[in-house]
Amino acid sequence: MKKKLLPLAIAAAMAPGFAAAAADTSGFANITYNITDDANQPTTGTNPNEGKFSANGELDFSASPADGVTVRLDVDLANGADNTTTTSLEQAFFAWNAADGVTVIGGVFNNPIGMESQNDRPDLWGNNRGVIGNILDNQTARYDNNLTGLAVTGDLGPVTLTGAVLNDLQQVNEENSLALVANYSPVAGLDLELGMVTQADTPTHLAQSTGLTTAEDIIDFNVSYAIPNVAGLTVALDYLSAGKIIDSAYEIKVDYNYGPWGAGIRTEKVSWSDNTADSDRNTFHASYQVASNLKAVLEFADGDNANPNTAITGIQADNLTTLDLVATF
């Protein structure tokens, strides 16, 4: 389980020695094979989503002259099972080391709120993003849970604080969204994060059973802990609450890695503000590190979503089994 220590995808920009590099190119390729997809099983005929391959990837470009400002550009590429190809801009930002321990970021960048704010497939917990990441993605109009604005991050003793002035999350309101994130690691292996983002109500964006609304202000707390007495064992909790639509949502994860092998269990639940039935999902995955840059992940998820807002959580009813092959460069 990868836990960011600095939000807003600036870890690479602030890594030791990075400023001396003239340019850098990285990315990944991800092949997905849908083994089962019970939610899309037709009453007659064949399932169009089973036994199908799809592929997506990313190209990341960055440059950071020794006396200049880091510039980052991420481009996502995807080819679906129906052979439809899409190209999308994920990130385009600069990171300026304005002072010792203080960085200014401007442009389009990953949402700093939540444990899965890093959207890239190699950084996800399993093959599919969790409910909190999906909720946040549903509330942001930018592609793949990204934001547009200006942010400042800095170290205040043991705490790293990030503040951001953003376009309205849904890009339709004149009022700016404001975000604040605090990261704290009191002991080795223990990472805590508290984040919040404001959002004006726009009653024309999202459908809910009781009307059209947004989730308004969002607060998220997450913690991960690498158990010191059991090598390879990590536990984590991510909890979100919102002003509307979502009353609360949580994810509990347990991961264990032994050599090239890994396994993880995740349980998730969403409680809705309109008191409809909770949505929940249980997921298990097993992984094997084939090579230093190739990983295979087999995932089985079983969801239950009685609420009509399936698109908000990403939880589908019944079973979904996928095999992912993730290669990085």
Question: For the segment 76-85, what is each residue's pLDDT rounded down to a tens digit?
Answer: 999 876 778 8
pLDDT for residue 40: 75
Calculate the average pLDDT of the chain: 87
More confident residue, 8 or 329: 329
Residues 6 or more apart whose Cβ sits within 8 Å of residue 110 = 8, 9, 90, 91, 117, 118, 119, 145, 146, 147
Model pLDDT, residue 274: 80
Note whether residue 6 is domain-resident. Answer: no
pLDDT at 207 over 70: no
Q: How confident is the model at residue 279 (pLDDT cuts 50, 70, 90)?
A: very high
**Model confidence over 89-105: pLDDT tens digits?**
999 999 999 988 899 99
Calpha distance 196→180 (Å, rounded): 6
Q: What phi and psi values does residue 67 have, to the nearest 5 degrees?
A: -110, 20
CA 5 to CA 98: how far, in whole Å?
Answer: 19
Helix (H, G, I), strand (E, B) or coil at 144: coil
278 phi/psi in degrees, rounded to 5 = -60, 150
- The better pLDDT of the pair 159, 4 is held by 159
Q: Is residue 49 part of a domain?
A: yes
Q: Does residue 108 lie in a domain region?
A: yes
Count the Cβ atoms, other than its own, within 10 Å of residue 323: 15
Number of domains in the chain: 1
Q: Is residue 309 part of a domain?
A: yes
Least confident range of 17-31, 223-237, 249-263, 303-317? 17-31
pTM of structure: 0.88
If DSSP codes are grouped into helix, strand and coil, which group holds residue 4?
Answer: coil
* 272 lies in some domain: yes
**62 in a domain, yes or no?**
yes
Q: Which structural domain range is residue 82 located in?
A: 27-328
pLDDT at 91: 94
Q: In this structure, is residue 100 part of a structural domain? A: yes
What is the reported pLDDT for 21?
44
Residue 118 CB-density burial (10 A; 0-12 exposed, 13-18 middle, 19+ buried):
buried
Q: Report the candidate in 84, 36, 37, 29 with the shortest Cα–Cα distance to residue 58.
A: 29
Q: What is the CATH number of the domain that holds 268?
A: 2.40.160.10
- pLDDT at residue 308, as a whole number: 61
102-145 residue pLDDT tens: 999 999 999 999 998 767 889 899 999 999 999 999 999 888 89
Residue 4 counted as domain residue? no
Quote the pLDDT of residue 258: 97
pLDDT band, very low/low/confident/very high, at 213 (cuts 50, 70, 90): low
Hey, CA dihedral for 197, 169, 72, 103, is it positive or negative? negative
